[in-house]
A and B are shown apart, each in its own frame.
Chain A
C-alpha cells in the first residue's frame, strides 16, 4: 500500500523523560530516515539507516539514538528529553540511495515541558 506509519502522532513529555518514536513502512525499502522539522529550518536529518543494524549519523544526531532490528521498522529514541527537542519528527523511507523518492510518514509532534 506504500505507506509510512508513525506512532505516536502526538506526545507530551516532561524534561528528562525518555521518548520512543516508532516508524514502520510496508515497501521493503532498505533506507530509512529520521528528520525533525522546525519553522524556518526546513527538514534536518537526524539519522539515516541503510538497512538492519546499519545506521549512520545525520546532521543533528546529538541527543538522539536509533534502532533498526527489522527492515520495516525504525525507532528514534530520546534519552532524557530536553525542551529544545520539542519539534515535529518525520520518518521517511526510500528504495536505495537518496536519488530515489523519499516517502514520508505523517509526523510525530513532540512537546517537551
Chain B
C-alpha cells in the first residue's frame, strides 16, 4: 500500500549548519509530495509541495526536489536557524488520489 518513510526521528544541529531530512515514498499514483512543519503547540502548516519530477521547490529557505527515479523528496536547508526547531512531516497523496499519507515525522532541534 501507500506509505511514506522518514528515517530520522530526531535530528540535532548547531545553528548555521546545513540539514537534510529524508523522505521516501511508495505509491502507484502519480506522486504529489508535501512537507508540513509543526512548531511546538501549533498547528501543522504547509512548507513545500511538488508533483514535478527533478524540479527544485523552495520556500522560507527550505528546498526539496522530487525524484521519481528514487521515490524521494528530501527536505534541505543550507543554514539552519533556532526558529527552524520543529516537527517536520513528509506526506504523499495516496493511490486513490483522495487522501494524504504522512510519514512518522522528524523532530529538528537547533542549538546555539
Residue in B9, B46, B97 whose beta carbon sits within 8 Å of that of A101 in the complex: B46
A48 to B98, CA, bound (A): 9
The segment out of A11-19, A37-45, A62-70, A71-79 that lies at the interface is A37-45
CB distance from B22 to the nearest CB of A (A): 14
Instruction: State whether the Cβ of A32 lies closer than 8 Å to any Cβ in chain B.
Output: no
Chain B residues, Cβ within 8 Å of A58: 99
Question: Chain B at the A interface: mostly helix, strand, loop or mixed?
Answer: loop
Instruction: State whether the Cβ of A34 lies closer than 8 Å to any Cβ in chain B.
Output: no
Would you give the 0/1 interface string for B48-92, flagging 1 where the beta carbon is closer than 8 Å to chain A? Answer: 010100000000000000000000000000000000000001010
Chain B residues, Cβ within 8 Å of A97: 93, 97-98
Chain B residues, Cβ within 8 Å of A90: 43-44
A58 to B2, CA, bound (A): 13
Instruction: State whether the Cβ of B102 lies closer than 8 Å to any Cβ in chain A.
Output: yes
Chain A residues, Cβ within 8 Å of B36: 102
Are B46 and A102 interface neighbours, CB within 8 A? yes
- Count B interface residues, CB 8 Å: 24
Q: List 12 A-B contacts (CB under 8 A).
A: A4-B43, A42-B104, A43-B89, A44-B102, A45-B100, A45-B101, A97-B97, A98-B97, A98-B98, A98-B100, A102-B46, A104-B45
A-B contact sample (19 more), CB < 8 A, given A90-B44, A98-B93, A99-B51: A40-B9, A42-B102, A43-B44, A43-B89, A43-B91, A44-B102, A45-B99, A45-B101, A90-B43, A97-B93, A98-B32, A98-B100, A99-B32, A102-B46, A102-B100, A104-B43, A104-B45, A106-B42, A106-B43
User: Hey, which bits of chain A sit against chain B, CB under 8 A?
Assistant: 4, 40-45, 48, 56, 58, 90, 97-99, 101-107
